[in-house]
A and B are shown apart, each in its own frame.
Chain A
Amino acid sequence: MWQKIKVAFHKLGSPAYFYGFSGRLLPWLWIAFGGLAAWGLYQALFVVPPDYQQGDSYRILFIHVPSAWQAMMTYVTMSVLAVITLVWRIRIAEIMAMVSAPIGAAFTLICLTTGALWGKPTWGTYWAWDARLTSMLVLLFIYLGIMGLYAAFEDRRKGARVASVLILVGLVNIPIIHFSVEWWTTLHQGATIRLFGESTMDPSMIEPLIYMTIATKVLYAALLLMRSRTELADQDRRRAWVRQRVAGSTARG
């Protein structure tokens, strides 16, 4: 059994196998994302009652909070991939770490934009120089720095390794974002949802939030595989396996 898992894992390191495997997995991920997001959004927009203080404006939470979590989780995932890149130099991990950066930047941008739109009716301002907002903005610039550094190298494999060092340097920011609402008393509210102990959020709001959170995780997985396949095919465009596939698909289509 263990042997089988190990063989399956090592097979995934082969570009051609990974390309085929992820291609078969992708439609299922998109279906899962569509279903979860549709159900979560329906619940969030039509089923859950309005907040007694904020009215309907709080509903943006169902986009804001999952994308904020995903922005941080993408960074942690990317850091694990960066360690694999630097220690074992697995090429698929390199590519997955590098394509994670634009996805993470997009989630960070969604989080900041929805936060600004939510801030206007509730706080009376789009932006505040609050610890959590500022550290999230720094996260966006770290993501952009990683993308820029990777793009600045002629040799993409070398670029991926150097950018991996930067990813690990930027990891310092993640606990700062996470604990910023507890360490400093600032405008952004403290955590209301707890894994352990009682959440200070109404139970009826939690269910759609869980659906939306799982949906963003699936979305990340789908985008990650899609971008990795494109990047892989682009890097290997002169190799035989890509040529075969491209020739094969044109012959068939």
Chain B
Amino acid sequence: MMRALVALIGRDLKLAFRRGGETLMPLFFLFAVIILVPLGVGPEPNLLASLAPGMIWIAALLSALLALDGLFRSDYEDGSLEQWLLSPWPLAVLAATRLFSHWIITGIPVIIVSPLAAQMLYLPAEALPVLVLSLLLGTPILSLLGGLAASLTLGTNRGSVMLSILVFPLFVPVLIFATGAVSAAADGMDPGADLGLLSALLVLALTLVPIGTAAALRLNLE
């Protein structure tokens, strides 16, 4: 079983890296937002510092959205998903593996460059570890919920528009708790409560989303 999953991740990563440009798109997008905000609202350090948690998180959220539509679509169209159904492994585990590669491709780069983005927006240094931690806990939730929405819209012909409508209310709690934690840390308060709630969301999403995604994939393949 392990070998099948590793092969699946390897295939997804290989495809993403050979396409090159697509892997870098989320990062370009993140930096476009980070650069445009100071130009839009003015380079005042205090203002930017108070906006920083929200801006970085919204940029991370939107860049997670970018790669979502293609998550299952090409496999749906060329029939690979039907092979998933026929394979001896549970569909939920295969779907979770696909979502994990989505997180590697869109989540990890954002986490790696987030200290740089934080510097550009003058986020106080003591809030930086909390920002990275909140991204570590939060971006997997984005990939999971986004994957669920992608599997739901698979059978429709205007998938990408529907996708952003479906995903946005689901992302709200993640955004609230993550930015709450970072802002609390920037103000010198304890971010523990928000980080705890974020971890709870992650556990909940990790256990339930693969099952929901598998159900949605199965319905769309009927």
Contacts and interface: CB of A to CB of B under 8 A. Distances in A.
A172 B204 CA distance: 10
B153 to A, nearest CB: 7
A152 B153 contact: yes
A142 B169 contact: yes
B158 A152 contact: yes
Interface stretch (A5-13, A33-41, A143-151): A143-151
B162 A149 contact: yes
Contacts of A134: 172
A218 B186 CA distance: 51
A145 B153 contact: no
A158 interface: yes
Interface stretch (A48-56, A159-167, A243-251): A159-167
Interface in B126-159: 148, 152-153, 155-159
Contacts of A165: 152, 212, 215-216, 219
A170 interface: yes
Main secondary structure of the interface of A (DSSP, over half): helix
Given A148-B162, A165-B212, A170 B169 contact: yes
Contacts of B220: 158, 162
B165 interface: yes
A145 B169 contact: yes
A153 B156 contact: yes
Nearest to A152: B156
A169 B148 contact: yes
A73 to B, nearest CB: 19
A42 interface: no
Given A148-B165, A169-B170, A162 B155 contact: yes
B26 to A, nearest CB: 23
A72 B220 CA distance: 29
A25 interface: no
A60 interface: no
Contacts, number: 56
A152 B156 CA distance: 6
B54 to A, nearest CB: 12
B78 interface: no
A172 B200 CA distance: 13
- Number of chain B interface residues as a range: 20 to 34
Interface in B25-82: none
B89 interface: no
Contacts of A144: 165
Interface string A162-180: 1001101110110010000
Given A158-B222, A161-B219, A149 B156 contact: yes
A21 B30 CA distance: 57
Contacts of B166: 145, 148-149, 166
A170 B155 CA distance: 20
Contacts of B17: none
Contacts of A86: 215
A6 to B, nearest CB: 29
Interface in B197-222: 204, 212, 215-216, 219-220, 222
Contacts of B84: none
Contacts of B212: 165, 168-169
A145 B153 CA distance: 11
B219 A145 contact: no
A149 B152 CA distance: 8
Contacts of B173: 176
A23 to B, nearest CB: 32
A176 to B, nearest CB: 8
Contacts of B158: 152
Nearest to B167: A145
A152 B172 contact: no
Interface of A: 86, 134, 138, 141-142, 144-145, 148-149, 152-154, 158, 161-162, 165-166, 168-170, 172-173, 176
Given A153-B156, A172-B204, 5 more contacts: A149-B152, A153-B155, A158-B155, A165-B216, A166-B166
5 contacts: A152-B159, A153-B155, A162-B155, A165-B219, A170-B169
Across the A-B interface, the 10 shortest Cβ-Cβ residue pairs: A152-B156, A141-B169, A138-B169, A145-B166, A161-B219, A165-B216, A142-B169, A162-B219, A152-B162, A145-B165
